[in-house]
Amino acid sequence: MASISLPNYSLPSLLPAQKPTPQFYSSQHLPLLSKPSHSQFFGLKVSHSVSLSTPSSFPAKTAIFAKVNKGQVPPSFTLKDQDGKNVSLSKFKGKPVVVYFYPADETPGCTKQACAFRDSYEKFKKAGAEVVGISGDDTSSHKAFAKKYRLPFTLLSDEGNKVRKDWGVPSDLFGALPGRQTYVLDKKGVVQLIYNNQFQPEKHIDETLKLLQSL
């Protein structure tokens, strides 16, 4: 399971102006907390050291623009699957394919999503579609994840997140949490749906099936 570090952010001061006294620092920045901790954020294990201060401004979130849009043919790729075999996107041309990017194996949200795809897999087969999951986990992690939950579809290892970056999958939490985004490509390899929902992973299955049934 992936372990990431949250960047340090600072909070605007809510303290009224006061003259320096022995109880207050004379600096404009008052350290409030500096203690390493671990937490679970929607299934992704987060290691972070929080240091809060009180500057006059809060850093703005950087805008991320997707490189792949509806109606486009996304960049091709070749990645290793859970069995260590190379799999290329071009392999699926001629049939619809669902490519879903998720944060990490063995996390609650990602496990719910994978199992929802598994439980609806016969519906995807009936629609003639393939399902492919992609995350930054290595092949051994994918193999254990697929075996544990009996996942009947392909999981690809995008170590270094090159494909994620090439496709322009946006991140959450100021770039600290890998995004959860699903693409549906038609038989010609053209994107017909882009669905992003980090906090309702099972909704991805409903939206993709709805689109597939209309193709």
Give the residue numbers marked as catalytic: 110
Query: Is the Cβ–Cβ distance between 205 and 211 less than 8 Å?
Result: no
Q: Which residues contact 211 (CB under 8 A, 6 or more apart)?
A: 184, 192, 193
Gap between the Cα atoms of 194 and 182, Å rounded: 6
Residues 198-204: contacts with CB under 8 Å, at least 24 apart: 198/42, 198/109, 198/172, 199/42, 199/109, 201/102, 201/109, 201/110, 201/112, 201/113, 201/116, 202/112, 202/113, 202/116, 204/100, 204/113, 204/116, 204/117, 204/180
